Structure 1
Amino acid sequence: MSNRAKSLSKKDGKAFLQSAFASEQALVNAKLKASEHITHNGDMGEHNEQLFIDLLQKYLPNRYTVAKAIILDSLGHTTDSIDIVIFDRQYTPTLLDKEKHRYVPAEAVYAVFECKPTINKGYLEYAADKAASVRRMHRTSVEIPHAGGLYKPKPHIDIVSGILALDIDWSDGFGASFKKLHTKLTGERRLDCGLAVSGASFDTFDNTYTFGPKANALVFFLFRLLKRLQSVGTVPAIDWAAYAQQLSE
């Protein structure tokens, strides 16, 4: 198998990459389609969420953790449960963990996603509302000591938001009908990216629409997300004193 791969990659490296990653998309697509036989909607949703969580964790560097979570801030505010949260675990602990139930400090969040069976008007607006609920959370940032003194508090990163699904309802995919609705989702309700594993992806990371190729929408989406996360660096240092203050009598 390795010799065959070497032969194919030597002959046409681009074609080899396209074929190899298309196989990954076909595999995930098949797993999601198989979940349609799960008759309970809640069970099916949890199954699909876990598939996407495992996929993202597989491709993202170890500095990022991916999980279902509730976002918590230092004022004691919380969001509803967010299907998929990408957050810092290198410098930030999760809080009040009980099995798969956890709270993630707002300062630690890099990205949030809603996981749905399909992408349509209702689910797109729902994901936008969930994204806004996270962006509204209060976030702290403190100075960081170093050998030569103090680094100034780092500005908060721009939290990425998106929607992940098996399919998309519009016949033209992320075409005119989608754009007409998506352009109305602005400010805190902005959705930066989306993926339908059946063969479509979009992002606006470069302030314009970028679309993935049908056969390789999945990995194209993941590589674009990696690039975006890489560009924002590390989340700011949390002011743990602000959290502690809420516990003082």
Structure 2
Amino acid sequence: MSTYLFDTPTPPSVPVKGEDKGYPVARIFCVGRNYAAHAAEMGVEVDREAPFYFTKSPLAAQASGATIAYPPGTQNYHYEMELVIAIGAPVFRGAVADAAAAIYGYGCGLDMTRRDLQLAARAKQRPWDLGKDVEQSAVFAPLTKVAEFGTVGPQRIHLEVNGEVKQDAHLSDLIHNVAEIVADLSKYYHLQPGDLIMTGTPAGVGAVLPGDVITGGIDGLDPISLTIGAAE
């Protein structure tokens, strides 16, 4: 059947440097606790054997530079600055080398989080959906192709709120590197072009309020920004 009862949303996309067509967002995977200092500030142990994941709906995707409403149901809305992996070729049960070859590019991302709801769910050993899969909570800056970015490792990753530095680390601090993440995730999913992976956040996460302006960057990538608007 080719028709629908209701109009469907236009699939989101992320701009790509040097391209006039956008990168379509099919799925958004997120890696938890991938910086040791952030795990420590959240009061949890680091799992160095394998990454763990949660997801966000593609409809959570939002372009850098936007103003978003302060979301309902929270009094503790947090920023998390992250490196984003964009998949550019199919990979399933791939070795690390195959996983690395499947990466199309990288970008800056913000994993916005209703922290109070996440921690309440964690305390009851429930899923994090209400805390993490929040409308307009996956913010993406334009992607840069792998060949133009180079090797992930020494680059600085940072975030500011109203110009004040809150997060400041390096991609070499990642517990699980980008190829390891893709290889591990491909054990469980047929990864395809259109899949984005948010690789985790450094220490220094914190709350924002309406009127706050978030900026961030990773050396060699387009910067990211977000303004928090009034609550709906």
Does TM-score exceed 0.5, indicating one fold?
no
- TM interval, short-chain normalised: under 0.3
| TM-score of the pair, normalised by structure 2 | 0.27
- Greater relative contact order, per chain length (Cα 8 Å cut-off, separation 6+): 2
| TM-score of the pair, normalised by structure 1 | 0.25
